[in-house]
Amino acid sequence: MLSKEAFLDPDEYLISEETENRVNAYTKYMNGESEQNKYFKAGVRDMVVATAKADEIWSTTVDVEEHTAFVYIGTENGVFRNYPGVRLNKSYDHTVRPW
């Protein structure tokens, strides 16, 4: 998940509809298939790549059926990963939490 803090225009992100075209543009940029970036602040893609390993580790080591466990990582620039994945409201912003 990316909080509004990951976007160049956080308010526009909150009010915009996440269309298939927009999500595809996000995905292509994050996967390095496109250098065109009109949505994200500098460093967000790097943090998405850096935290991807956490998803890989969590999906192979966290036994959700055996234990009730949620793990998460949140960065200052708006990248938030959690496992097991749960849908969060678009307006959820982990960067304002007191942790």
Higher pLDDT, 36 or 99: 36
Query: What are the distances in angstroms from CA 85 to CA 30, 39, 78?
Result: 18, 23, 17
Torsion of CA 36, 52, 79, 29, to 10 degrees: 10
Q: Under a CB-based contact definition with an 8 Å cutoff, are residues 76 and 93 in contact?
A: no
pLDDT score for 68: 58
- Model-level pTM? 0.79
pLDDT tens across 41-89, in order? 999 999 999 998 888 888 887 666 676 578 889 999 999 998 887 888 8
Q: How confident is the model at residue 7 (pLDDT cuts 50, 70, 90)?
A: very high
